[in-house]
Amino acid sequence: MNFISTIKLVIRTLLARKGRSFLTILGIVIGVAGVITIIALGAGAQSLVLGQVNKLGTNLLSVQPGKSNEKGPPAQIFGIVITTLTAEDAYALSNNSQVPHAVAVASGVRSGATVTWQNKELDTNFVGTNYTYPDVVTITMREGRFMSQQEDQGNANVVVLGSAVADELFAESGTDPLGQVIKVRSSSQSEAGGIPLRVIGVISPRGSAFFQNQDDQIFVPLVLGQKQLLGIHYLQSINIKIDAAENVDQSISDIKAVLMQRHKIKKDVDADFTVRNIADAVSILSTITNALRLFLTAMAAIALVVGGIGILNIMMVTVAERTREIGLRKAVGASNSAVRNQFLLEAGTLTFLGGLVGIAVGIILSYLVSVVMVKLGYDWAFVISPVSVLLAAGVSILTGVVFGLYPAFKASKLNPIEALRYE
């Protein structure tokens, strides 16, 4: 029997058992779709993580209060309040004679806040910072301006809104946010009242960075945020922009030296602060996403193995059911290789079809996930690698061949006389 005739026979056989054929390829569909989706999600996650640096700015160092392991989170993440970082520390770090490669320095405090305008109330986050913030972190203004040096140092009652906050408060009424007075109170203050602040600017949409919505926040002068909203005197962070990537390591050493001297600390193990390179944080996130992607790919591979076992099981049942047919074919002259090839083709065809459907399903799922992530404000790229498609198709066919070998050889070795007697 030639190859074309064998193919036609295989197709007729599979069509005669549509339900069984569908259930057989379902495991392959799930496994292949899983591989495609996971590889695409891994690529999307990588694009998201790498985009975090561009969102916040390159060559950015962050000083956090409290000592922590280089690869661990800062102490304040665990709710530990450390009051050793001050505005005077930030001023010393802005001195180019001590940190020569520092371009700009911005201090910061932050917390949850409630914003009120007319009859609208909105829960958001506030950031108390300096006028130098736009020089440290990459932002552009949609309208208006950021706070001036005089407003910052004079503790003026002004506020700059993130785009999401501005739209939520003013878009429905069509009111221009600039010049409007809103009331702001921190989450730790009583519900009564609030500090009246005049809106002087709205920042263009920035999306999310490090899984925080950068548009769902407002910016106020540092001292106002410290004293009037939080009632504290210390800083929660100091961000420093460095002039070039090659000077980051040297700047970290300079910053540590300045703060060790100011805090009268002699040994590194006694440090009450941590200096972090934002790019290192991205690297840690990339490592986590890579590990997660490998784990999920392994899970998808298990689904393919399960699908392969399903192929083996069904083909064994098929051989048993068609024993008399096999015997008849061999009795009229079909060779062992012809019988073997027929069953191998059946297994290969099932897995090939499962692979095609799985690839289509995986691409659709990956696209839907990317659409949802973009809607949520994340820079999530929809990436389907041709290598992943070819890999998934090849693996699906290989699965059929590997798990179809034993039933095919068993069928080819049947004795035609014994097969014809089979009930």
Number of domains in the chain: 2
Whether residues 303 and 265 fall in one domain = no
What's the average model confidence in pLDDT over 19-30?
73
What's the average model confidence in pLDDT over 314-324?
70
pLDDT tens column, 181-214:
999 988 776 666 689 999 999 999 887 665 577 8
Q: Could you tell me the pTM of the whole model?
A: 0.62
Whether residues 295 and 267 fall in one domain = no
Whether residues 311 and 206 fall in one domain = no
Whether residues 18 and 121 fall in one domain = no
Last residue of a domain, one of 247, 271, 295: 271
What's the average model confidence in pLDDT over 107-119?
91
More confident residue, 419 or 261: 261
Q: Is residue 250 part of a domain?
A: yes
**Hey, CA dihedral for 30, 35, 38, 40, is it positive or negative?**
negative
Task: Decide if 181 contacts 196 (C-beta within 8 A).
Answer: yes
Average pLDDT of the chain is 80
Q: Is residue 112 part of a domain?
A: yes
- b/e for 278-289, b at 16 or more Cβ within 10 A? bbebbeebeeeb
Q: Is residue 358 part of a domain?
A: yes
Whether residues 9 and 151 fall in one domain = no
Could you tell me the pLDDT band of residue 406, with boundaries at 50, 70 and 90? confident
Whether residues 320 and 379 fall in one domain = yes
Q: Is residue 258 part of a domain?
A: yes
Could you tell me the pLDDT band of residue 388, with boundaries at 50, 70 and 90? confident
Q: Is residue 77 part of a domain?
A: no
pLDDT above 70 (res 20): no
Whether residues 237 and 359 fall in one domain = no
What's the average model confidence in pLDDT over 255-261?
92
Whether residues 262 and 307 fall in one domain = no
Whether residues 249 and 325 fall in one domain = no
Whether residues 262 and 141 fall in one domain = yes
Whether residues 234 and 383 fall in one domain = no
More confident residue, 161 or 186: 161
pLDDT tens column, 125-150:
999 999 999 998 888 999 999 999 99
Last residue of a domain, one of 204, 239, 271: 271
- Position 55 scores a pLDDT of 59
Identity of the residue numbered 119: N
Q: Both ends of the chain: CA-CA distance in Å?
A: 26
More confident residue, 212 or 284: 212
Last residue of a domain, one of 245, 271, 297: 271
Residue 401: count of CB within 10 angstroms of its CB? 16
- Position 240 scores a pLDDT of 92
Q: Which domain holds residue 111?
A: 83-271
Q: Is residue 35 part of a domain?
A: yes
Q: Is residue 76 part of a domain?
A: no
Whether residues 8 and 104 fall in one domain = no
Say if residue 377 is exposed, middle or buried (CB neighbours under 10 Å; 0-12, 13-18, 19+): middle
pLDDT tens column, 54-111:
555 568 888 988 876 655 555 555 556 778 899 999 999 999 889 999 999 999 999 9
